Structure formats: structure tokens, C-alpha cells
Structure 1
Amino acid sequence: MNFRKQCKFRKGGQRGFTLVELLLVLVILALIAGLVLPGIIGKAESAKAKAAASQIIRISMSVESFYLDTGNPPSSLEELVNEPSGVNGWNGPYIKNSLLTDPWGQPYKYTVPGEHGDFDIVSYGADRQQGGEKNNADINSWD
């Protein structure tokens, strides 16, 4: 049986892939995606946690610079960006406003005086709730 005779068996003599062949390819692609995507997503969340830890270090350094310039820690993180009224010696902005939110889009929790030091800075992680483990763990300035 030659190729021209095989094509006659298809509807209208058209050449192309059958529905079964297309579905088989889609199933194979879905299986591959199911194996690869969980690893990629896990890496992205881990990268966000590392970025939050780095941002907390930068914010902490900015709070310390504010303290050295004014003699008092800021009452809120916004004072690192915008000059507060009635504060002498402010020499900011000390940090970019965009760094005051964690990689999950939530503002960092800043407490002064802190329970673990002069001030505490916390991101509640991916779940945006206090506590948690792994990717949902809190990231803070005292660990």
C-alpha cells in the first residue's frame, strides 16, 4: 500500500494529524509539565523568601542610619522615605519606598521597641499569616 492510497482513507483525502495523535501529544506534554512545574514553583517561593531576608537586612540598616542621624528610631518605616515633621537631623530618604513591601506584596511589620531588640521587622511569608513552616515561615530581623 503506498502513501497515496493511505491518504484516500482519510475524509476528503486531507493530510494531517488525527485527533488521537493530537491528544496523545497533549497528554505527553501535560505529564512533562506535571513533573517540571512543581520544582520551578518551589524555587520561585524559595527565592522570594531569600529576597525578603535581604530586604529586611537593608531596612534594618536604614533604621540604624535614621537612628544615628536623628537620635531616635523611626516610629514607622514610612519615616525612612518621607521626612517626618518635628524630627531634627533627618538626612533621607534612607531607602526606596518599593522596599517597604515584601515579595508577596504585603508591608513589613515594624515594631519599636521590639521584643527581640531595639526594633523588630517581620514578613509573614507566602501565607501572610503569623507562624508557618517552609515557604510559609515568617522572616524576621532577629534570626
Structure 2
Amino acid sequence: MKQFEMRLARGFTLLEMLVVLVIIGLIASLVGPRLFSRVDTSKVQVADTQTRLLRGAIETFRLEVGRLPTAEEGLSVLYAAPADDRARARWHGPYLDEKVPADPWGNPYQYAIPGRDGMPFAIYSYGADGKAGGEGNDADVGFLPPGQ
């Protein structure tokens, strides 16, 4: 009768697993803060890009309808026809593929008339803090109203 050899499969010891976890933790602690700071910077860039796209949609609305959206209509008129019959007849929207997006921090974009430096309107985000003003990631982003 043949004897069967039993081979024991060698696995990782608990100590080896702990060493690997410590090394992964050290790498994550070095790389993590750099990645998170880039996330904040990218949100500012996304807000800037979105305000530029919204500005283009507002300009297209103005060309077709013959006026800017009123403060009461706000940005919703870029997606849904205005209530005014005269404006509705000239409206060829929607001027956005979807409803007006929230800014990267989940807050609505602001629209005001007039804008700063001779701009006829302002379209902007309050930034990460959701409040007017601020510095760094909390700074307002976009085409700002007078006084900001």
C-alpha cells in the first residue's frame, strides 16, 4: 500500500499580516493628504467650469429671447420655458441637457443682475463654506456680483 505524503500548506503568520498592514497604513498616511487636497482643488475647477457653461446657456437664452432671465425666473428658465407668453414664444430651449446642477459642494448656483465689472449678470457659487466671501476653497467662484 502506498503511503500518502501530507504536505502542510504554509500560510501567512499573524505577525507577517500585521507587518503588511502597518506598511499599507504608512503609505496611506503619506499619500492620503495629498490626494484629499487635490479633491478640494478639483471641486473649485469644476465649479468654475460649470459657471462658464451656465454663462453660455444664459447668453444663448438672451440671444433668442431678447432679454436676460429675471431674478425671479433665475436659472430654472434655462431648462423650463418662461411663464411670460412673449418670452415663451421666442424660447427655443431647453438650454441645458438636464436641470441646473448643484455646485460641487451640493449648494445651488447663485444668479444675480447686474454682474461685476460691467457684466450684465452674475453666476457664481459660494464655494466650500456655502457663504459669501471667503478665501481658498471657501472663496466664491464664477462671475461675481458687484461688491464681492
TM-score normalised by structure 2 residue count: 0.76
Query: Could you tell me which residue of structure 1 aligns to residue 32 of structure 2?
Result: 37
Q: Which runs of 5+ in 1 are unaligned?
A: 1-12
1:70 maps to a residue whose letter is V
Question: How high is the sequence identity, in percent, across the aligned residues?
Answer: 41
Query: Could you tell me which residue of structure 2 aligns to residue 118 of structure 1?
Result: 120
Q: Determine if contact 1:77/1:100 at 8 Å carries over to the other structure.
A: no
Aligned residues: 131
Query: Could you tell me which residue of structure 2 aligns to residue 4 of structure 1?
Result: none
Moved more, 98-107 or 13-22: 13-22
- Is 1:62 aligned to residue 57 of structure 2? yes
Q: What does the per-residue CA deviation read over 1:111-138, in whole Å, with 9 as the maximum and x for residues that have no partner? A: 1233553111111222222222222222
Q: Determine if contact 1:82/1:92 at 8 Å carries over to the other structure.
A: yes
2:37 maps to a residue whose letter is G
Given candidates 4, 17, 25, the residue that maps to 1:22 is 17
Query: Could you tell me which residue of structure 2 aligns to residue 74 of structure 1?
Result: 69
- Offset at 1:78? 0.3
- Offset at 1:28? 1.2
Query: Could you tell me which residue of structure 1 aligns to residue 3 of structure 2?
Result: none
User: Once superposed, what is the RMSD of the aligned Cα atoms?
Assistant: 2.3
Q: Determine if contact 1:66/1:94 at 8 Å carries over to the other structure.
A: yes
Measure, in 2, the Cα distance between the counterparts of 1:96 and 1:105: 19
Query: Could you tell me which residue of structure 2 aligns to residue 136 of structure 1?
Result: 138
- Offset at 1:100? 3.2
Q: Determine if contact 2:103/2:109 at 8 Å carries over to the other structure.
A: yes
Q: What does the per-residue CA deviation read over 1:23-73, in whole Å, with 9 as the maximum and x for residues that have no partner? A: 222111111001111111222222221111111111111111111211221
Query: Could you tell me which residue of structure 1 aligns to residue 81 of structure 2?
Result: 83
Q: Which runs of 5+ in 2 are unaligned?
A: 1-7
Q: Determine if contact 1:120/1:141 at 8 Å carries over to the other structure.
A: yes
Measure, in 1, the Cα distance between the counterparts of 2:62 and 2:100: 19
Measure, in 2, the Cα distance between the counterparts of 1:137 and 1:81: 28
- Offset at 1:98? 4.6
Measure, in 1, the Cα distance between the counterparts of 2:142 and 2:111: 10
